[in-house]
Structure 1
Amino acid sequence: MDAVPDVNSSGNISGIVRWIIKTSIGIILLALAMFISSGRLDWMMAWAFLGIVVIDNAILGIYASIKCPELLEERSRMKEGTKEWDKILAPLVALVVPIFIWIAAGLDYRFGWSPEIPVEIQVVFLAVALLGSLLTTWAMVTNRFFAPTVRIQDERGQTTVTSGPYRFVRHPGYLGVIIFDLATPVALGSFWAFIPALIVTILFFIRAFLEDDTLKNELPGYRDYAVKVRYRLIPGLW
């Protein structure tokens, strides 16, 4: 008797493959943006920065493939039910604006627009960027509903997540990305790269506000959770 194929398993596998392709393209675009704009390949901090991005995504990919493959399937593409406003915001914060951070840093490295930042300080901020990235990864592996766009995942039985970093702020994944993006300019030795970094930070605050309102109105249990965990992004402030 032939075995009945596991549809969910097959879907997860194809989703993992899509996530790997999507993530690989993102990393390649990051590398191209930095090295083409800088005009050279001997930019050591850019290689170190690229390395932490690769390592962090590898950690997420390996862990989620074993423990929560449906997370990678969910994150592999924009799905039906995505809020109309996030169809605009999600690409902006995920790639469009960040790529200008990397290009600005590369051009700055080529033309020397910014005052020289000591390597020791760049290394410290590289470590801060890594910590921010790991905070986002922690949020993702804690929350199997961590989608790339804002939508209510009724088909997956979405529930309110209150453990891990969600005990401290309601959107720890966004906080991690903000830390990463704001640390990147100094890590890459560019003050000019702060301009797009600040723009993407503002967009994340807007997105967090809109997502929070959506979850309060549409996700069971989230309004009670918001009473217990008061702050959206910054403990003690907002």
Structure 2
Amino acid sequence: MNEINQPIQNQNKPLNTTLLIILSLFSMVAQLPFLFLPARRWDWIEAWVYLIFFYIYMLAQILILNKKNPQVLRNRINAKKSGMTKAEGADKWILPLVSIVFLAVFLIPGFDEGNGWSEVPFQVEVIGFVILGISFYILYRSMLDNAFASKVLDIRKESGHKIIDTGSYAVVRHPMYTGFFLMGFGLTLALGSWYGLIPAGLFLVILAIRIHFEEEMLIEGLEGYEEYQKKVKYKLFPKIY
């Protein structure tokens, strides 16, 4: 019993705050070339507003999570360190697709801005930022509710992996995916690009495919998941899907 509890206790220990502040800043700065290089300009107001918005959200989220649920931060950091090496089965080809399509959600609005393809009304851009704010909250809540959230498809029974059916997981079965899709959809509108909706829509299709394989894995490896499916009927959007 002690051997099982010890790693869980270590995972619940908060991470270094300075490290988290640096990670938040890096997460914002890393997006700069994918936005401004395709746009060929640095005075793109919508992009700067988004980046400031993102940094405030990112910093607030990880500081709160570090206090309330540091285990999920450790899981996410460890998954990024391992990269694709831990990916198995369908994840070996789905994860690269997810990365490519989500990257296109940033690149295409940049090219759109640089070439003047779209004319998006200011009101629509505001709606995009509102959707972004909703997506950020959903992502925060899903990670707060589920310490087992990870980048790769896996079941970590040695860490006490169990079904989470409360909070956001009582509404839909994959709220983190809901948040990521809304982020991509809101971002492309906030940045003023109609063409960015193409990769955003494709991103939703890929997420649906990944959910299929993820649920097969969870039914096989996590006791009670089929009962959870019956209790929470929708995967991403209540009353829709």
Using the size of structure 2 for normalisation, the TM-score is 0.85
- 1:21 deviates by 6.4
Q: Which residue does 1:92 correspond to in 2?
A: 97
Cα distance in 2 for partners of 1:33, 1:190 equals 15
Cα distance in 2 for partners of 1:149, 1:10 equals 18
Q: Which residue does 2:134 correspond to in 1?
A: 131
Q: 2:117 aligns with which of 107, 113, 116?
A: 113
Cα distance in 2 for partners of 1:102, 1:81 equals 26
Cα distance in 2 for partners of 1:87, 1:13 equals 31
Deviation by residue 1:71-98 (Cα, 9 ceiling, x = unmatched): 11110133586433224323432x4222
Deviation by residue 1:10-33 (Cα, 9 ceiling, x = unmatched): 996679888776665443232211
Give unmatched runs, 5+ long, in structure 1. 1-5
Instruction: Establish whether residue 200 from structure 1 lines up as the match of residue 203 from structure 2.
Output: yes
Distance 1:230 1:15, change over 3 A: farther
Distance 1:12 1:21, change over 3 A: farther
Using the size of structure 1 for normalisation, the TM-score is 0.86
- 1:119 deviates by 1.6
Q: Which amino acid aligns with 1:130?
A: G
- Is residue 12–residue 69 contact of structure 2 (8 Å, CA) maintained in 1? no
Q: 1:146 aligns with which of 135, 144, 149?
A: 149
Q: Give me the CA root mean square deviation.
A: 2.6
- 1:62 deviates by 0.3
Q: 1:178 aligns with which of 176, 181, 185?
A: 181
Distance 1:45 1:25, change over 3 A: same
Cα distance in 2 for partners of 1:201, 1:24 equals 28
Sequence identity, in percent?
27
Q: Which residue does 1:3 correspond to in 2?
A: none
Cα distance in 2 for partners of 1:11, 1:190 equals 41
Q: Which residue does 1:34 correspond to in 2?
A: 35
Q: Aligned residues, how many? A: 231
Q: Which amino acid aligns with 1:34?
A: L
Question: Which stretch of structure 1 is more off in the superposition, 77-86 or 31-40?
Answer: 77-86
Cα distance in 2 for partners of 1:215, 1:15 equals 32
Q: Which residue does 1:102 correspond to in 2?
A: 106
Q: Which residue does 1:235 correspond to in 2?
A: 238
Distance 1:97 1:17, change over 3 A: farther
Q: Which amino acid aligns with 1:221?
A: G
SS of 1:75's equivalent in the other structure is helix
Cα distance in 2 for partners of 1:84, 1:24 equals 33
- 1:126 deviates by 1.0
Q: Which amino acid aligns with 1:145?
A: F
Cα distance in 1 for partners of 2:16, 2:209 equals 29
Q: Which amino acid aligns with 1:59?
A: A
- Is residue 46–residue 188 contact of structure 1 (8 Å, CA) maintained in 2? yes
Q: Which amino acid aligns with 2:175?
A: P
Cα distance in 2 for partners of 1:161, 1:223 equals 13
- Is residue 19–residue 76 contact of structure 1 (8 Å, CA) maintained in 2? no
Q: 1:214 aligns with which of 213, 217, 228?
A: 217
Distance 1:130 1:169, change over 3 A: same
Distance 1:81 1:168, change over 3 A: same
Deviation by residue 1:48-85 (Cα, 9 ceiling, x = unmatched): 11122222221221012112222111101335864332
- Is residue 16–residue 76 contact of structure 1 (8 Å, CA) maintained in 2? no
Distance 1:10 1:235, change over 3 A: closer
